[in-house]
Amino acid sequence: MGIQWTEREAVHLLNRAAFTAGKNEVAASLELGKEETVRRLIAGESLTGSSEQLESLDQLLADGKELKADSISDQQTYWLYRMVHSQAPLVEKMTLFWHGHFATSYQKVREIPLILRQNELFRKQAMGNFYELVLEVGKDPAMMLFLDSSNNRKGKPNENYAREVMELFTLGIGNYTEQDIKETARAFTGWSYNKKTDEVTYNKGQHDSTVKTILGEKGNFDETSAIDVIFKQDSLPHFMASKLLKFFAAAEPSKEWIDLVADDFAKSGNIGEVLSKLFLSDAFYQSDLQGSLIKTPIEYVVGILKSLDIPLSKGFTQAARKMGQELFLPPDVAGWRGGDTWLMTTSLLSRYQFAESVSKRLNSKVLGGTDFTLGSQAKPEDWVLQFSKNAGIWFLGEQTVKILSKFAEDTFIYSTQKTNGMKGLLQLIMVSPEAQMK
């Protein structure tokens, strides 16, 4: 007998495949059923049937001021807005995944249009064919500038892209040799990006057309056929299966689970199909996996903003930066390390400061609304669980509920002046251990 589709499973799926488990989305998922919920997430269709369209950057205000297209901080704010308001949250989350996988930093590229073009490539190919994405990334101007592809010429090959395409993008450490990198770099020679004309061009005279040996195969490889050889390696589907499982499912997935997902990956190479099988599998919903992954700073910020419907502010991306994750500015080509590093002392303090700033933005009108109102017979724990769901945190531990219930009872439940106590409760919920997990 398979896993039952209940509120707990719906919340788990949305916490992983979206940025938060909103009450409307959870209700819609329960009505749709698991198969249709997964189908809509993969297809980028609204779960609730909403037709809300994203506004363009020049239509938005943050802190009451217009956003500027030539400001990287404003572009960061706009992407955050997209994550909060997108009706296709899994597509947006995969865009973030690819940004960390093919990590490219504005710090070196220094061209906002190229960074945005790459971002759109990730969004367009978010759920598509991985082989096609790798080929496109190799000729993406931002990536070419970041890894010095224009300096990769016949006789003087630059190994940067060849190294990362094997180590970080497809095969993983230990599944190639230094000689494989040198040979692959030769295969990639001849391509360059011209900033003045905004063109990616191929110069046949700068391409090394001699025979090369890559991963045991010999031939006159070029930028496409070299990738073909890489994609024949058994390590590739295993490498990608492990990355996808660690991002969506488990911090330490078993070898058997990696093998199973790798088999799906090898058969289709289509990210949407692989994720669909994962999200429909019983293994994905194991009780010990629920609430077992640490939220990235972006997930933490976006989830709270979406749940509490907080107006857009430029300070939100800076808050995520202080927590350790800045959009368009990964620390290096390996991207963000993730895991326990998200909860180091300084990063955790920044989460607490963000929670405090959010609670201060909630006025008495919001806190006096129906979502934050319970009847006179409600117990302190009822208030805690109601506020927790409002903040996107559906399940709290017994000890957390006990502590927060005492706080609610002491500060506002029996008081005529409720606002400060209600803000305090929300702040404590947002800094609770459960709020850091997904």
Statement: residue 376 has pLDDT above 70? yes
Summarize the confidence of residues 375-393 as an average pLDDT.
96
The neighbour count for residue 432, using CB atoms within 10 Å, is 20
Place of tokens 């058969």: 267
Cα 357 to Cα 273, 352, 423: the distances in Å are: 40, 9, 10
Helix segments in 362-418, DSSP class H: 364-367, 380-390, 398-408
Summarize the confidence of residues 132-149 as an average pLDDT.
98
What does DSSP assign to residue 54?
P
Q: CA-based angle 204:209:214, to the nearest 5?
A: 130
Q: CB under 8 Å to 9, separation ≥6 — which residues?
A: 3, 34, 285
Distance (Å, whole) CA 197 – CA 317: 32
Please choose, from the candidates 153, 176, 343, 56, the residue with its C-alpha nearest in 3D space to the C-alpha of residue 168. Answer: 176
The answer to whether residues 415 and 374 touch, using CB atoms and an 8 Å cutoff, is no
Distance (Å, whole) CA 323 – CA 308: 20
Distance (Å, whole) CA 25 – CA 23: 5
Is residue 301 classed exposed, middle or buried when 0-12, 13-18 and 19+ CB atoms within 10 A define those classes? buried
Element (H, E) at 85: helix 72-85
Distance (Å, whole) CA 65 – CA 105: 26
Distance (Å, whole) CA 380 – CA 305: 25
Amino acid at 360: K
For position 356, what pLDDT does the model report?
98
Statement: residue 179 has pLDDT above 70? yes
State residue 236 phi and psi, 5-degree precision.
Answer: -65, -55
Strand, coil or helix: 9: helix
Distance (Å, whole) CA 4 – CA 7: 10
**Per residue in 61-102, pLDDT tens?**
999 999 999 999 999 999 999 999 999 999 999 999 999 999
**Per residue in 167-176, pLDDT tens?**
999 999 999 9
The answer to whether residues 104 and 128 touch, using CB atoms and an 8 Å cutoff, is no
Measured between its terminal Cα atoms, the distance across the chain in Å is 26
* pLDDT category of residue 2 using cuts at 50, 70 and 90: confident
**Per residue in 321-374, pLDDT tens?**
999 999 999 999 999 999 999 999 999 999 999 999 999 999 988 999 999 999
The answer to whether residues 297 and 284 touch, using CB atoms and an 8 Å cutoff, is no
E strands in 163-276: 191-194, 199-202, 212-214, 217-219
For position 66, what pLDDT does the model report?
98
Distance (Å, whole) CA 282 – CA 425: 35
Summarize the confidence of residues 288-317 as an average pLDDT.
98
For position 1, what pLDDT does the model report?
58
* pTM greater than 0.75 (yes/no): yes
